[in-house]
Each structure stands twice: as C-alpha cells, then as structure tokens.
C-alpha cells in the first residue's frame, strides 16, 4: 500500500469528511480509479459531485502535483506514491 494526499475544498471537502487527508491505496492508480475508490468510501453525494454535467464539462477539476489532469491524460493520469491530488469544484456566477 502507498500513501497519497487528498486535498479538497468547499463541498468536496465536506463530502470527503476533511479538507486534507492521507489515504493508503495501491499505486500507481489512475485518477478515475482513485475517484471511484473515494466514492466507494464516501457515498452517493460524492458520486454526484464527481459526475459529468450534460454540457460535457466536469463538475470537478483535478490536479495531481499542481498540474490539471485535463490538460494531459485526463482521468487516465497516473497517481503515484506520495503524490498530492487536489479536487476543486468549478466556481460560476454572474
């Protein structure tokens, strides 16, 4: 098992039970599999936060070690031991 750091803000932190936490998981793991692991652990409310919206934009932006995964391999980005994964909810307004 490997340790990775999960950081989340606002509603995502509430769904995960903490703003920052370490999880033990087999690495390397894809972001997609990590998100499923977290949903399995924290439930349907988090699943809704991680869902894709109708307009094909994600409800969450994911960074691994400060790099937006959607600028690279997307959900297939690999997370390795000691990496830091940040989940952000996009902010909108008018």
Q: What pLDDT, in 10s, does the model give residues 1-24?
A: 899 999 999 889 999 999 999 999
Enter the pTM of the model: 0.89
CATH code reported for the domain at 2-88: 3.10.20.30
Show the tokens assigned to 91: 């902010």
pLDDT higher at 55 or 44 = 44
| 3-state helix/strand/coil string of the chain | CEEEEEEECHHHHHHHCCCEEEEEECCCEEHHHHHHHHHHHHCHHHHHHHCECCCCCECCEEEECCEEHHHCCHHHCEECCCCEEEEECCCCCC
Q: What pLDDT, in 10s, does the model give residues 51-83?
A: 876 554 567 899 999 999 989 999 999 999 999
- Domain definitions of the chain by residue range: 2-88
């Amino acid at each position: 098992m490997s340790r990775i750091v999960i950081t989340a803000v606002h509603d995502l932190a509430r769904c995960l039970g903490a703003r920052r936490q370490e999880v033990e998981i087999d690495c390397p793991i894809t972001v997609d599999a990590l998100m499923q692991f977290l949903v399995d652990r924290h439930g349907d409310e988090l699943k809704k936060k991680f869902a894709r919206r109708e307009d094909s934009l994600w409800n969450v932006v994911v960074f691994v070690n400060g790099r937006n995964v959607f600028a690279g391999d997307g959900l297939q980005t690999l997370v390795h031991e000691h990496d830091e994964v940040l989940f952000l909810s996009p902010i909108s307004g008018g």
